[in-house]
Amino acid sequence: MTGRTHDAAALTALIIAAIWYPPASLTLATALVALLANQIGGITPDIDQPTAPFWRNLPAEKFLGQATDKLLGGHRFLTHSIIGVAAFCWLAHWLLVFLQPIMHSVDITLVWYAFVIGIASHLVMDTITKEGVPWLLPIPIKFGLPPLKALRITTGHFVETLIIFPALLVLDVWLITQHYHAIHQFIRLHLGA
């Protein structure tokens, strides 16, 4: 999947989680940082790609990308497994605890959940592509849905750009309109709008 589709998928997963499990309280700062963490989580596993959006804006982009590629075992390896995701979640938690003193009004637990939702959505989305995902590393089997490879999506192909990506946006709009009243009430109550 492309970075754009992963961003949309991470946002969709976050909206679904927020509708089904609305937080007991929420500050505007938490909402914004959580959204950012969710989007970062959504593309994090692809730092193993030399062309990943993560590296694209750095001056030593090519070198850094390739070095990480070697270190992580190539594309769709460690970063696309439960072990890799657990390691990223642990790192994210550690980073949030470290940053907490300068983010007083931010609920780092909610921000961490948003990151976890983003990174989990990445693996789920990559599972429906032809390459599959080695969920259970070190067991070197790539899993895909549906199991028949021919029925899965090719990354960057028209099915992704013209169907999956727009469908995710339509789903977001539909979810928000369906739950508009509850969302409005929640914003009024917690964010004072």
- CB-wise, 45 or 65, nearer to Zn ion? 45
- CB-wise, 7 or 46, nearer to Zn ion? 46
> How far apart are CB 76 and Zn ion at their closest, in Å?
6
Strand partners, 129: 153
> How far apart are CB 108 and Zn ion at their closest, in Å?
26
> How far apart are CB 90 and Zn ion at their closest, in Å?
19
DSSP string of the chain, one letter each residue: --HHHHHHHHHHHHHHHHHHS--S---HHHHHHHHHHHHHHHHGGGGGSTT-HHHHTSTTHHHHHHHHHHHTTSTTSGGGSHHHHHHHHHHHHHHHHHHGGG-TT--HHHHHHHHHHHHHHHHHHHHTBTT-B-TTTTS---B-SSSSGGGSBPTTSHIIIIIIHHHHHHHHHHHHHHTHHHHHHHHHHHH--
- CB-wise, 27 or 155, nearer to Zn ion? 155
Helix axes 28-43, 82-99, angle to 10 degrees: 150
**Contact residues for Zn ion (CB under 5 A)?**
45-46, 126
- CB-wise, 107 or 131, nearer to Zn ion? 131
> How far apart are CB 46 and Zn ion at their closest, in Å?
4
> How far apart are CB 122 and Zn ion at their closest, in Å?
6
- CB-wise, 130 or 190, nearer to Zn ion? 130
